Structure 1
Amino acid sequence: MGALKDMVLFIYTMALFVLHAAGLYHLFHSEWTSGFEYREMAFYLGAITAIQYLDIPFSFFLTRSNPYAVFVQVSGRLFTLYAATYMVGWKYVAFTLVAVYLISELCRGPYYMTNCLKTPNKPLTWLRYNAFKVLYPIGFTCEALVFINVLFVSGRVPIDIRNKNFMFSLVFAAFFFTIVNFLYQSMSKKAEQKNRQLKNIKTK
């Protein structure tokens, strides 16, 4: 039974890795050739992100993921990717956001695949649990800029405290920061635990 679980998780992880690698290739290839256009990749990005909802049922019998954290992260990404389709200008904000999303998944895949093969690798483990320290602040900044652009730069919401939509935007910002903090703290705790384990293995 254990071998079957490892095989299912390996295939699932490899499929996601290939899909995200293809997305990253297309991202840079399109920029170097015809120029990156976010709308051309929006559906593909949404599709490969939605697939990750499978991590929720998998968390009960294949992985040790927190299903609540998975739901929040995947839903947040989908919402941000959808919102980005309404951006006015700021092409490289969308470009950087997409790159961060794709690279973050590419940092996870090899770690899980080596674990499925029972050949854990310390550098891949370190990368899996520490890459977020660079990627997360960049991604969070891009996410914030996406919503600033969509709400204010595009002119959809006037900056006026008498406007109920503007006040709602402030409430949304507070909620957004709360979710960001929750995810960052969750990842930081995991990274601290894993780095401690790696340090102990190194000193033996």
Structure 2
Amino acid sequence: MEEVVLRLKELLFPSIADVAVLSVDVDIEIVRVDAQCIADGAVCPVCGVWSNRVHGSYLRFPADVPSGGRSVVLQLRVRRFTCGNSGCARRIFVERIPGLTRRHGQRTERLRSTLAAVGLALAGRAGARIARVLGASVSRSTVLRLVDALPEPEVPAQRVVGVDEYATRKGRHYGTVLVDIETRRPVDLLPDREASSLAS
């Protein structure tokens, strides 16, 4: 039995240490995975002091990546610890499992990144429809919010820049657009078409 539980842990959480799978319950529509953190203690997020004094625990139910068209929900038991630093502003804190969940998160990091990738490819409505087909029911607003939360990509320095003008009100208000010629992406929009704005 212990070997089966270890294989389930390797299958479900291959890159996450200190998480043990206790049981898996498969239903017609939902797969429930009972898991908990098995680390000896945790580090206080405010002062950074290590603590192994358990104050209590509670259950979290983050959604995970669907499996075989079924929704996967973790029943994750997380512990509260008492901070060992008497001068710390936070006396009790909750253990964090990096790579699995975020603070106050309703989804695992894997599901967040999957939905964000679907949103990048298909945007809101179409992304929500594909996510529903895959087994993760989310709204189009959630898909767009996950895409919006992604960090801005690194933009390399432009070597060749094209300059053109655009009209906000034809015949009255004009601006300048700068375009990276190699990638064909806009670099900047200037509010006018003066040479001094372009030079700066």
Q: What TM-score do the two structures reach when normalised by structure 1?
A: 0.26
User: Which structure shows the bigger proportion of residues in helix conformation?
Assistant: 1
The structure having more radius of gyration, on CA atoms, is: 2
